[in-house]
Amino acid sequence: MDIVTYPLGRRPTVRTWRSLALLMRLGYKHPNLVLAMALAVVLGFGAPAQSQNWTDPPLVFGYFQNILSYYDYKGSGHDFSSFSLQQLNLMIQKDLSPRWTAFVNMEFVNSFSTSRMIGDFNLEEAWIRYRVGQRHSLKIGLLIPEFNRMNTIKTKTPLLPYIIRPLAYESSLAEAIAVEEYIPTRAFLSFYGTLPLGNVKIDHAVYVGNSPNISTSDQPGQTGVDTSRTFLVGGRLGARLANIQAGVSGTLDYFDYPAEVGGLIHDPNPNVREIPRYRLGADLRVTQGPVTLEGELIEVWYDDDLDEIVSDKDFYYGTVLVSVTEQLIVFGGYWTTSQHFLDVAQGLRGFELINYVARMKIPTFGASYSLGDRVVLKGHFGIVKEELDAKGVRSREFDFNFYGFGTSVMF
């Protein structure tokens, strides 16, 4: 490994430590000021997004998406509209040598503000990559695993014409859609690359990560993470030929139901721990002239052998995109999810398990317009229909229309 190293300067002196202590006290009293200073320092290293040499300073770049959204609940009186900074991503990339690259991606969502107690901050990616030969790479660290075509680009808003992403990828709908059950969101080791086979290019990726939601406590509501026992393994195999790309993806990880579920099942010895969970995905994208058709499906099932519990899920989406000009793209599509999940409720005979099925269907339309290379204006309209069945009986349904206008800016 031929990582180029740089002299880090003199050894820290007593004066240095005092300065550091002063900075820490300042940070304790004025966290926003220190955050601003840190950002200024980081941005000060910024360089234009051009070809980087391993002796150059780190590249700092990113993007954000502002939106104005309006939810029309069709006369129910619950309509509302809101401005928000849907997402801001700050990325830092540094080529350490011709083969080694480090990359960090920090994500702030929903107008993140600690003082107002809204939004969220997420360390989305932090990995180092080693290029193996001409066409393969090994990534080590926190990374977004390859699953279908959309998973790795789902948060890269400048690449997408959508404001609301295809449902299984839309983290802002996390209250309604179990995003992390549909898709693997994190892995820690990945080997991927491309193999040319005549005119066809075979894309492949395999990865490992942690199984999520492994509870270490028998107390209800505990969802502490213990990653010592089970892992996530997965991959994608895809093919590209001219303007057609297709792929299949799959993962296996292990899931724990909340501890109290075991006591509510009538099976004398129920196993609710380390349930194998399988995800299967398929993706297709075909471009012919100005028209692109893209679609995906995801199936999730739990191999739990428990008749009283169903947690399987599925998701489909298909979108037709038309490039009217090089700047203007219009699209129309149909997205749908079906989620089985369970909840614990107090009935006449005490607590009981209830199986729910939630369905969401969205015919959706929109357009995006590129202003130069770095600014994209977006408009998005969706007719949302949600249904909730409990024990096989329709318990709730509601419809609303979503209107969104956004600006995605890359810097």
Binding site for other proteins (CB under 8 A): 49-52, 59, 61, 63, 91, 93, 98, 101, 103, 105, 125, 127, 129, 131, 133-135, 152-153, 156, 158-159, 194, 243, 287, 326, 373, 410
Residue pair 185/105 in contact (Cβ under 8 Å)? The answer is: no
Q: Which of 175, 373 has the CB closer to other proteins?
A: 373
Residues making up the chain, counted from first to last: 411
Question: Which three-class secondary structure state does DSSP give residue 373?
Answer: coil
Tell the smallest beta-carbon distance from residue 54 to other proteins (Å).
Answer: 9
Q: Which of 103, 317 has the CB closer to other proteins?
A: 103
Tell the smallest beta-carbon distance from residue 137 to other proteins (Å).
Answer: 8
Tell the smallest beta-carbon distance from residue 38 to other proteins (Å).
Answer: 21
Q: Which helix (H) or strand (E) holds 285?
A: strand 275-288
Phi, psi angles (nearest 5°) of residue 149 = -80, -30
Q: Which of 9, 133 has the CB closer to other proteins?
A: 133
Pairwise CA distance, residues 104 & 61, whole Å: 11
Tokens of 195: 């193999």
Q: Which of 147, 254 has the CB closer to other proteins?
A: 147
The whole-angstrom distance between residue 344's C-alpha and the CA centroid of its chain comes to 28
Q: Which helix (H) or strand (E) holds 401?
A: strand 393-410
Q: Which of 196, 224 has the CB closer to other proteins?
A: 196
Pairwise CA distance, residues 99 & 279, whole Å: 33
Tell the smallest beta-carbon distance from residue 168 to other proteins (Å).
Answer: 20
Pairwise CA distance, residues 218 & 256, whole Å: 11
Q: Which of 161, 258 has the CB closer to other proteins?
A: 161
Tell the smallest beta-carbon distance from residue 406 to other proteins (Å).
Answer: 17
Tokens of 332: 């129309």
Sequence-ordered strand ranges (E) for 324-374? 328-347, 350-371
Tell the smallest beta-carbon distance from residue 156 to other proteins (Å).
Answer: 4
Q: Please tell me what DSSP assigns to residue 247.
A: E
